Amino acid sequence: MEVARTKHGIYMSQRKYTLDLLQEIGMLGCKEANTPIEPTNQNNFEDDSPPSDKTRYQSLVGKLIYLTHTRPDIGFAVSMASRHMSNPTDVHEKAMRRILQYLKGCAFDRKSTTGYCTFVWENLVTWRSKKQSMVARSSAEAELRVMAHDICEGI
């Protein structure tokens, strides 16, 4: 993970890790995707396609899980892919490649991602994950924005 302190705050990125991963898989020159999962095939993970290399698939899922620490936008797609680690098929491998294509096409910037969940007793009421419109000068400023959004949602 690359960490840099600038006059605008602390900047954390896994850009090099992502590029190294794309290089390792042989997808550095791949076509970019706008979304980490195909919108029309979100639930089409069950099929009778031939089995995929289980060890390679599990390794790739693990690396993508590591990326979700700074890239929560791929969290859902990675969780869908991780459900099939014990018996991956070519369809699952294709879905994994779609996530990598998305990572290649996504611009890296210094904007924080706002994410919060609101519970009433133990019931999830609202949730949100969105890139902030401005670059925060510090992590405290970014967290303050999240709290302000959460309070407004609660009101």
Question: In this model, does residue 85 exceed pLDDT 80?
Answer: yes
Mean confidence (pLDDT) of the chain: 79
Distances (CA, A) of 109 to 70, 71, 89, 95, 112: 12, 12, 34, 25, 9
Question: In this model, does residue 81 exceed pLDDT 80?
Answer: yes
Residue 96 is part of which domain span? 2-105
- Total tally of structural domains belonging to the chain: 2
Domain match, 119 and 79 both? no
Domain match, 92 and 25 both? yes
Question: In this model, does residue 84 exceed pLDDT 90?
Answer: no
Mean pLDDT of 73-99: 88
Question: In this model, does residue 106 exceed pLDDT 80?
Answer: no
Q: Name the pLDDT band for 62 (thresholds 50, 70, 90).
A: very high
Residue 151, burial from CB neighbour count under 10 angstroms (0-12, 13-18, 19+): exposed
Q: Are 19 and 68 in contact (CB under 8 A)?
A: no
Question: In this model, does residue 30 exceed pLDDT 60?
Answer: yes
Domain match, 9 and 65 both? yes
pTM listed for this prediction: 0.62
Domain match, 80 and 34 both? yes
Mean pLDDT is highest, among 39-53, 91-105, 110-124, 125-139, for 91-105
Percent of residues, the chain, with pLDDT higher than 70: 76
Domain match, 94 and 147 both? no
Q: Are 33 and 101 in contact (CB under 8 A)?
A: yes
Confidence (pLDDT) at 110: 59
